[in-house]
Structure 1
């Protein structure tokens, strides 16, 4: 299609050059005829003046014939370029039907052509604007040739007039004559279709942009932020404690990425109704297993990365956490912060640490809760303050001191 458009543009430029030269020759001959007519009026002898006028009138009539034939050729060319593809497609479709009737199982040419067009429009992002631009240029070119064939104007004026008909449908009201009116109305109808398609493309692009912003598909450009991967019931308490830990730093940024809709996550966080204390919480929709989604939330620039365990089967949750750690270690830019992974089974802790290395700190929820219950049983007053204090100091240590969970538990003990 691009090659055909380029060839057509070259042919149109050559044709325009030829027509302009013909117009210039015709204009010079007209000026020569006018000068000759003025010279005739100065001649005293009547007979000789009559002879000269008849000769020049015959010459002007001979000159008008090729100009009129050129206009007829341009009109015929525009109509042929408009209807030839339709006739060719119908003829090829008829041949394909005849071949299928003989027992062949080939797909019809029209279906194959429609399939290729569909693939072209689907794969290339700029295919639709390009097709619209080519269609507009063809409409202006064919319309200009048709106007050149039915009017006495030059080709350049006809092309400009064709563009005005495409841009504004009301300009054809000044057309005089049956031929110019039919051509101008046809160009105006094509212009209305072109601008309707252009308006549809602009509307679709704006709608897609707003949908991507609403669904959390835009990129997060942050540094030294806390990244939370996943969603669980523990997210509210985790956000609250991180906000308390960031209060001494004047606030911070928390980015939450989960396989949920952005609006739902923001609504659930708003329902928690706790004080953010200057910390901004940004939600994004994506999968932690996809490297492109991890880059979208600036994983390489995060100060700390927290991987939450899923609700349900412990082995499946830990397997997913292991895959997330593998995805994080595969970031080419490298990780600036450390990784905190919540596990459901204590037996899987060694495997996750083996894969993550020194960057990974594991937290087994059941093990921590069991130890906390034993401490509360031995010290009855710890049950009122120990849970919040332990979570607060643990999160604060991870974010500020870089201590491990086991070191924090030893400190509390």
Structure 2
């Protein structure tokens, strides 16, 4: 037979040979069977006779599948069988997956048919009842029904009004059953809805980027996120749905009306104990279900109320509520200087019975309140309100009533000078962007003197800048050259004793300044704020200066309500001896550490010291870098006439390095907060204290009796001490002395 087929290949096309299939079991793979026909037997070439290229391999197919009828044309060669190690589970899963997709339209059709046939069955039930009534009428007309039961039945019209009788309960029952089953069916087959639509439209685009179930969940999530009352509306809808659904169920299992069933459903929802008196199995099942749903709804309502209350309490606790104040002092930012600043403001508000201070910083409200409570200071009627927010955001500024504040203080951050000034500039831009305007003046703390003009340019006349770092450096020089000046600065710059006040007195208009000097018995006039010159303050003007309309007098007084101008006293003219200025002698000063504004301090020393003075600079900065930094700061060392710079390299906290200095020859020693550690207040103060203690111990151990002034600058703290008496006084500079206040208190307790 094989030979004949080879000689006459066209015979197979004229008359197909009879086919008979044989199943050859596979001993190695029990999951597969080999189907061989007479026409394909020529391809079953024995393996022991060698290989041949003209023979096709036997196709292996699953044993349990319904194979299609083979066609007349031989199929293409199938892929080789899997290796013996491959299990049959992947193959079976690959084969059954197309069957799942083939059956899915049938399931969809069954689902749609079940939904369509429910109202159709109700309609057929209605028609059946109608026909039975017609039959009963006909029977009564031909005397088939008893005489006592003969009644005249009303004619049944073709409307659905009759469905409100007995059959309406069946419809209600169907509606309840469908309503119960529909959510589960939608949850399970919601993703196949686009495929059903495409199938009905005879389209083949069944690909969906996002499943419909996820899309619906996303829409619900967006709805609850955008609309604040979405949860309440959902709860209301669930309540109404439960009442209506329960009413239909009760109407289906009881004999009452629909309105009565809805009322009973509401009572079961409102009070879960009302179902105890129900009778009948169906009515009890429905009433228990409605009561369970009512308990869930009330639990959800309690949860929503609890969440709303908790959210409001958290908002108040975290400082997110609005501050409704006016004429208050607003502090923007947070730093270690805030403690001393609050103390001075509380003392200033004591005369007016207290006030309100609002602090806006990028910290948690609880943390800020805890830090303020650690100050252990009596605020004397002043209230401190903390709010968490950013001074760079207009919404947060409006939250603290920035337009109604009588004074705004912008604190420098604890970053380096450039970053702190850049942040202060952004805060000033935010303040100028307030639409309502600013009712008070703004004081901005700067860290670098070079950045001050830029902030004034942006802020305009409302902005006043204070470069505390450079100002304290200049005050240090004066305190080092004049012993006891630190106490005077403390009294003037702080609110404990006398301080500066500016006020207008119309009765002084037209007087000479020499007459104004003797017009205040309880104050000391020291300057004039000229109104005609844009509010410029002139310190110690000429005696011939005449006060004009709008000018204000700058005085030093105990408080703003303790002084007033009086009548001019009589002045007796006389001669007084001329006081000659004492001669100046060269000084020898030591700087321990390197500050950013050390060039400015050297220029101040150049103006105050006598010719021939020496300034020793002892720090870890290399000498070449020192000269470069001084030149970058605007100081030309070659132009110094009164002082001579002497450079020494070393660490001020190492005793061996300090012992190499002639400490007994210096008239003043200034311990500066080193530039390398100025970002950390605690670290800077620790180094300065260590240097002070080492210098003191070296002096005591050397048994040298000499008088020396040591001025230690710990951040913004001045410590003045007299070596001969071994008495050390720690003083702060009023409202400017805010950094290092903790260190000062420790020094006072230990009498260092």
TM-score, normalized by length of structure 1? 0.79
- Equivalent residue runs for 1:205-244 within 5 Å: 205-244=308-347
- Equivalent residue runs for 1:11-410 within 5 Å: 51=147, 53-56=148-151, 67-94=165-192, 104=207, 106-392=209-495
1:80 Cα offset (Å): 2.3
1:83 Cα offset (Å): 2.6
Which has the larger strand fraction?
A: 2
Q: 3-state SS of the aligned residue for 1:80?
A: helix
Which has the larger helix fraction?
A: 1
1:388 Cα offset (Å): 4.9
* 1:363/1:405 contact within 8 Å kept: no
Q: Report the CA distance shift for 1:321/1:65 in structure 2 as closer, same or farther (over 3 A).
A: closer
1:58 Cα offset (Å): 7.2
* 2:502/2:555 contact within 8 Å kept: no
* 2:412/2:446 contact within 8 Å kept: yes
1:394 Cα offset (Å): 12
Q: 3-state SS of the aligned residue for 1:332?
A: coil
Q: Report the CA distance shift for 1:131/1:202 in structure 2 as closer, same or farther (over 3 A).
A: same
* 1:144/1:155 contact within 8 Å kept: yes
Question: Whole-Å Cα distance in 1 between the matches of residues 258 and 395 of structure 2?
Answer: 54
* 2:500/2:555 contact within 8 Å kept: no
Q: 3-state SS of the aligned residue for 1:281?
A: strand
Question: Whole-Å Cα distance in 2 between the matches of residues 240 and 212 of structure 1?
Answer: 28
* 1:172/1:184 contact within 8 Å kept: yes
1:64 Cα offset (Å): 9.3
Question: Whole-Å Cα distance in 2 between the matches of residues 232 and 264 of structure 1?
Answer: 13
1:95 Cα offset (Å): 5.0
Deviations 1:230-265 (A, max 9, x none): 111111111111111111111111001111111111
Q: Could you tell me which runs of 5 or more consecutive residues in structure 1 were left unpaired when the two chains were aligned.
A: 1-49
Deviations 1:83-110 (A, max 9, x none): 32432443332456899x9983522111
* 2:491/2:497 contact within 8 Å kept: no
Question: Whole-Å Cα distance in 1 between the matches of residues 452 and 406 of structure 2?
Answer: 23
Q: 3-state SS of the aligned residue for 1:392?
A: coil
Question: Whole-Å Cα distance in 1 between the matches of residues 536 and 262 of structure 2?
Answer: 80
Query: Where does residue 24 of structure 1 map in the other structure?
Result: none
Question: Whole-Å Cα distance in 1 between the matches of residues 163 and 474 of structure 2?
Answer: 106
Q: Report the CA distance shift for 1:144/1:409 in structure 2 as closer, same or farther (over 3 A).
A: farther
Q: 3-state SS of the aligned residue for 1:282?
A: strand
Q: Report the CA distance shift for 1:103/1:394 in structure 2 as closer, same or farther (over 3 A).
A: farther
* 2:492/2:498 contact within 8 Å kept: no
1:396 Cα offset (Å): 6.9
Q: How many residue pairs end up in the alignment?
A: 360
* 1:315/1:345 contact within 8 Å kept: yes
Q: Report the CA distance shift for 1:253/1:65 in structure 2 as closer, same or farther (over 3 A).
A: closer
Question: Whole-Å Cα distance in 2 between the matches of residues 407 and 238 of structure 1?
Answer: 24
Q: Could you tell me which runs of 5 or more consecutive residues in structure 2 were left unpaired when the two chains were aligned.
A: 1-145, 155-160, 199-203, 505-527, 541-553, 557-752
TM-score, normalized by length of structure 2? 0.45
* 1:232/1:310 contact within 8 Å kept: yes
Q: 3-state SS of the aligned residue for 2:207?
A: coil
1:310 Cα offset (Å): 0.4
